[in-house]
């Protein structure tokens, strides 16, 4: 009963557990992979704007998978990110199509313009 109440307030506990596991996996990476994964995680939290918890968690699990594989294969960081790490991060985020915070604002803008247009129409 308490778990349902807590989840109603904070969101699903399973999502939090999976996020923490992905974060711990990235924290356990050797350098320079850990620093790169940490920087990408931070950027994606700001840029991604994903509000759907399942999508957000999957994005970070996939990011952990990517950097674990790169570390295991000793792939250079630049071979993963290319010359433009911002482009890499934004392209990575675009692959995850969950709801984003901007979706709500886009709909608000559309609704406001439609209401203003209706208000100007002759009766």
What is the tens place of the pLDDT at every residue in 72-106? 999 999 999 999 999 999 899 888 876 666 777 88
Segments in the chain below pLDDT 50? none
* One CATH from 3.50.50.60, 3.30.1370.10, 1.10.1900.10, 1.10.10.10 for 2-120: 1.10.1900.10
Say what the pLDDT of residue 8 is. Answer: 54
Half-sphere exposure of residue 116: CA atoms within 13 angstroms, side-chain side: 6
| Percent residues over pLDDT 90 in the chain | 56
Closest CA to 15 of 59, 47, 46, 48: 59
Which residues, 6+ apart, have CB-to-CB distance to 86 below 8 Å?
Answer: 43
Say what the pLDDT of residue 45 is. Answer: 86
| Percent residues over pLDDT 70 in the chain | 85
């Amino acid at each position: 009963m308490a778990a349902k109440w807590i989840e109603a307030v904070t969101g699903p506990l399973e999502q939090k557990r999976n996020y923490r596991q992905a974060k711990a996996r990235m924290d356990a990476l050797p350098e320079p992979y850990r620093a790169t994964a940490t920087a990408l995680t931070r950027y994606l939290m700001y840029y991604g704007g994903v509000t759907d918890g399942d999508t957000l968690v999957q994005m970070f699990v996939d990011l952990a998978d990517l950097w674990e594989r790169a570390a295991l294969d000793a792939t250079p960081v630049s071979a993963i990110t290319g010359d433009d790490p911002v482009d890499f991060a934004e392209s990575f985020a675009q692959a995850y199509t969950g709801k984003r915070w901007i979706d709500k604002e886009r709909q608000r803008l559309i609704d406001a313009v439609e209401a203003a247009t209706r208000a100007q129409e002759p009766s």
